[in-house]
Structure 1
Amino acid sequence: MTVDPVITTRQASPYVGWRRTIHVDQFPEVADKIPVTLEWLEEHGVTVNGAPFFRYHVVRVPDHVDVSCCIPVEGESPVGPGMVADVLPAGRYAGVRHVGHPDGLVELTAQLVEWGTRTGRSWDVASDGSDDVWAGRVETYFSPPDVPIDQWETEVAIRLAD
């Protein structure tokens, strides 16, 4: 399968969420924070400004990630206990849409990274051989919770350095 990314310029996006360093098998513990965060934001009158996403800050070879479960919000926002407020940086992002089970996102991400290499693009990432520190690497989930998981619409997007 060959990916055909769309390159877009994005504005900085403030968000509220949870940041954890986990083994990839623990990912559901982070994903389960989406409804908790949405409920907290609603209770505190914070306006949600887009679809939930996961931000991958650091990928540690072979199987650990430093990841945030994020809900975009309008402007600055208070946070509850254990939560974080941060901003996904502005910039040019290469993104690929996916419809299907999230299990396909690992391969899709690998194809997107390979596309960058093949086309001479530079990602906004620093690497020391075991850790890749990403300025902007996200998976955005567009489907509402009542859509069957094998029909979810998702986008993988990575910030370009060039």
Structure 2
Amino acid sequence: MFVVPGWCRKSMTSQPSVTPVIVERAAQPYVGIRRSVTMRTIGGFFGTLSELIAWVAAQGVIPPGPDFIRYHVIDMAGELEIEAGVPLPAGAEVAVEAPMHIEVLPAGRYLTTTHVGDPDDLVAVTGAFLAWAEQHGMRWDAHDTDAGERWGCRLEIYHSGPDDNPDRNTWETQLAFRLAD
């Protein structure tokens, strides 16, 4: 059984309401840039996502879905290995240069929930989401390592943001965490 990490429990004092659903996601090719960050430096990483989105647009590629942040390894007291990603259409031919790479998000069952509101609330929303999953006996595609929790696929998918509306309280973010097989 997945245990809610201490950093989530602390942020759950005023647990937001979450309504998770299980969805089947097909495999999805994407272009990404992976980095190691800390909780203090994670804010600067979102500039990488903006640069990646601009680069994909300059290639004439129309993404078939919204951009995302993928969390690979999470150690809240140390480093997080995260990745900015933009979906690619199936069969798209894009020549990338380091530090970009092309990968595929794994197919499978994902537990998802959508948050409409300020992205600063996502830590609390994630904590409530993890707690809901634990209460319902859900098992993540994740395991502990010396570097932190390694996730098979843990996504924050940005359906809207500052380009759509400057009011942060209207932004829509979907959490999609892959369930264990």
TM-score normalised by the chain length of structure 2: 0.82
Whichever residue aligns with residue 116 of structure 1, its letter is A
3-state SS of paired residue (1:24): coil
- Choose from 46, 53, 69 the match for 2:84: 69
> Structure 1: where are the runs of 5+ without partners?
none
Aligned position for 1:54: 69
Shift of 1:129: 6.7
> What is the CA deviation profile of residues 14-42 of structure 1, one whole-angstrom value per residue up to 9, with x for unaligned ones?
11121101012212222112231122112
The answer to whether the aligner puts 1:96 opposite 2:113 as a matched pair is yes
> What is the match of residue 151 of structure 1?
170
Range that drifts further, 145-154 or 8-17: 145-154
Assess if the C-alpha contact under 8 Å between 1:18 and 1:30 holds in 2.
no
**Distance (whole Å) between structure 2 residues aligned to residue 25 and residue 14 of structure 1:** 30
Quote how far apart the aligned CAs of 1:150 are. 2.4
Does the aligned pair in 1 maintain the 2:75–2:148 contact within 8 Å?
yes
Aligned residues: 162
What residue ranges of structure 2 are gaps of 5+ in the alignment? Answer: 1-15
Deviation at 1:108, TM superposition (A): 1.1
- What amino acid does structure 1 have at the position aligned with 2:153? G
Name the structure 2 match of 1:7. Answer: 22
Task: Say whether the 8 Å CA contact 1:40–1:80 is kept in structure 2.
Answer: no
Q: 1:36 is paired with a residue of what secondary structure? A: helix
- Aligned-residue CA RMSD (Å): 1.7
